[in-house]
């Protein structure tokens, strides 16, 4: 149960990199259990916004409230513990470990050593569910290093799911994927949103047309269009301009 309808509420966010405002007064609301896409041209500041949520980048101004708790000033690992997971453009998995070992390891981070001994069962269930959700059951015994690009991305998402996150931040999850892999990724994202909330940075208009609940558009550090439906975003002339202009 969440305290509020808006799981993530960002207000007046500013990030200054040596005098350059990469993020310049951003407001963003992400509702519980929605799949929210953050789009915009390269350099718009999308990844920087995500980095502020995870605590990797320190904002110069503004507030980031997650389930009504202020995240600014919190350390990265305490933000993870609050239930926020993120993926990167290049999947970070342990290549020498098998798929199952990767998931096991990720699941074990949720539990203290004592709990781990008592709740071994809970960890196994989380791993089995992640294998099923990501469609990686057949390759569970393969080293992660031998997986395809798409499979590695799904494994990374699976590793986060093992930690039972409330908010999943995905950075361009379908970059470099084939059409079939994109569809599978979209299906996985929709499935994920039944249990948690997803904020996804992505360029691909076709992809978000199929899988987004709401979309926010950024350009040059600012919000060009606040949270809207895909249809509203597509009909917006300013959005068309930045997309056709690229
Ligand atoms: P997007 O994800 O929308 O492509 P980014 O958030 O990655 O945009 O970057 C926004 C702007 O901030 C870009 O102009 C980028 O070059 C700049 N930038 C990002 N990270 C840093 C950094 N650590 N130091 C200086 N400039 C940065």
Instruction: For residue 29, name the pLDDT band (cuts at 50, 70, 90).
Output: very high
91 — pLDDT class (breaks 50, 70, 90): confident
CATH number at residue 57: 3.40.50.300
How do beta strands 35-39 and 197-201 pair?
A: parallel
Q: Is 158 in the pocket of ligand 1 (CB under 6 A)?
A: no
DSSP run (H or E) holding 86: strand 84-86
Query: Ligand 1: does its nearest atom lie under 6 Å from the Cβ of 45?
Result: yes
In a domain? residue 49: yes
| Structure tokens, 4 | 């509020």
The protein residue with its alpha carbon nearest to ligand 1, atom 18, reads 22
Q: Is 229 within 8 Å of 216 (Cβ atoms)?
A: no
Q: How far apart are CA 11 and CA 67, in angstroms?
A: 14
Is residue 234's pLDDT more than 80? yes
147 within a domain of the structure (yes/no): no
Name which residue sits closest to atom 21 of ligand 1, judged by CA: 17
30 in contact with ligand 1, CB cutoff 6 A:
no
Asked whether residue 155 is assigned to any structural domain, the reply reads: no
| Terminal-to-terminal C-alpha distance of the chain | 42
Q: Look at the chain and report how many structural domains it folds into.
A: 1
pLDDT in tens, 103-125: 998 888 766 555 555 555 556 88
Note down the domain range covering 221: 1-82+208-246
Residue 110 pLDDT:
67
> Of all atoms in ligand 1, which is nearest to the CA of residue 49?
6
How close is the Cα of 191 to the center of ligand 1, in Å? 31
| CB of 145 closer than 6 angstroms to any ligand 1 atom | no
Q: How confident is the model at residue 205 (pLDDT cuts 50, 70, 90)?
A: confident
Does pLDDT of 2 surpass 70?
no
């Amino acid at each position: 149960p969440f305290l509020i309808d808006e799981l993530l509420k960002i207000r007046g966010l500013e990030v200054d990199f040596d005098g350059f405002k990469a993020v310049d007064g951003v407001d963003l609301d992400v509702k519980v259990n929605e799949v929210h896409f953050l789009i915009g041209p390269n350099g718009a500041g999308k990844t920087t916004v995500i980095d502020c949520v995870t605590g990797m980048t320190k904002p110069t101004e503004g507030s980031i409230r997650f389930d009504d708790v202020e995240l600014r000033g919190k350390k990265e690992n305490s933000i993870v513990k609050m239930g926020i997971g993120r993926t990167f453009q290049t999947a970070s998995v342990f290549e020498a470990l098998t798929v199952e070992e990767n998931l096991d390891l990720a699941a074990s981070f949720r539990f203290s050593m004592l709990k781990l001994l008592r709740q071994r069962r809970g960890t196994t269930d989380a791993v089995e569910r992640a294998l099923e959700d990501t469609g990686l059951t057949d390759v569970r015994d393969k080293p992660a290093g031998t997986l395809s690009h798409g499979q590695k991305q799904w494994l990374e998402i699976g590793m986060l799911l093992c930690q039972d996150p409330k908010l999943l931040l995905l950075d361009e999850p379908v970059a470099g994927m084939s059409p079939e892999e994109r569809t599978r990724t979209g299906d996985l994202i929709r499935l994920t949103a039944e249990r948690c909330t997803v904020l996804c940075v992505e360029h691909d208009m076709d992809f978000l047309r199929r899988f987004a609940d709401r979309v926010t558009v950024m350009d040059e550090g600012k919000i060009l269009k606040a949270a809207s439906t895909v249809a509203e975003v597509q009909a917006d002339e300013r959005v068309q301009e930045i997309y056709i202009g690229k």
